Structure 1
């Protein structure tokens, strides 16, 4: 078990999505959920109280400490939707150029609303990131 504060739990993904106040963000969650299920072939799981993750992998950093985390997922944050692309974005610049309106963090793709992006490109980005994760880690 990792020392991470955020852990997978048995909270209801559906209940969480229905509790999202912002109607647009809730709709975007209901759109992303089946897309990620289809791509990952995994059931969604709540991580902490606000992240929906798919699959799992174990990592270790250079100091030897490690933990478990989801392979991909999303979170309907107050300001925008966060899509987690765990390998980061170094290998995806061509896709990002075609994606549409977004901003990036280290492994976070921030989208105000799904209608701002090309969902087909987003699906390709998620698919490629999962393949990259599977080549680097023993993913479950």
Structure 2
């Protein structure tokens, strides 16, 4: 399993020097499109708790309630290095469906999942569609902070 060995935002950006420019490009777009979503280093969910263990750059945060009744912090939008690509995760929904579905055909990503998409280079993406996805996610979260909680609980 691919693991990013980082313990801060700075070390995350420095982890893979060949992809630093890609991370910085998408980070810049996210920060411009969603200035209300605070950027932070997400350490991953601790072992023994439900959730993904991967480290990532988080934007905005909510408490994901797991079935046991415990809660774990999770990013509204997460940007993660993978072995051969970069993934963006989005926990916001529109009419009960992941918001990424509204943009899937326009993003330019090579892979789209239920609440995420993956790409190799920022230049492969449709920046206008990505900006609309990010700003739309931020607007929904700011107006309705429980939106991602309902999505995660219904997953």
TM range (shorter): 0.7 to 0.9
Partner of 2:25: 31
Distance 1:61-1:30 versus aligned 2 partners, 3 A rule: same
Root-mean-square deviation over aligned CA pairs: 2.8
The reply to whether residue 132 of structure 1 matches residue 137 of structure 2 is no
Contact 2:42-2:56 at 8 Å conserved across structures: yes
User: Which consecutive segments of 4 or more residues in structure 1 shift more than 6 A?
Assistant: none
The offset of 1:101, in angstroms, is 3.3
Between the two proteins, the alignment pairs up a number of residues equal to 128
TM-score, with length taken from structure 2: 0.67
Give, in whole Å, the separation in 1 of the partners of 2:55 and 2:62: 19
SS where residue 80 of structure 2 aligns? Answer: strand
SS where residue 105 of structure 2 aligns? Answer: helix
The offset of 1:56, in angstroms, is 0.9
TM-score, with length taken from structure 1: 0.73
1:30-83 Cα shifts (integer Å, max 9, x gaps):
112222222133442111273010121123256534322111120121111111
Unaligned runs of 5+ in 2: 1-6, 44-53, 149-155
Match of 1:123 among 111, 116, 131: 131
Partner of 1:41: 36
Partner of 2:114: 106
Contact 1:59-1:137 at 8 Å conserved across structures: no
Unaligned runs of 5+ in 1: 1-10
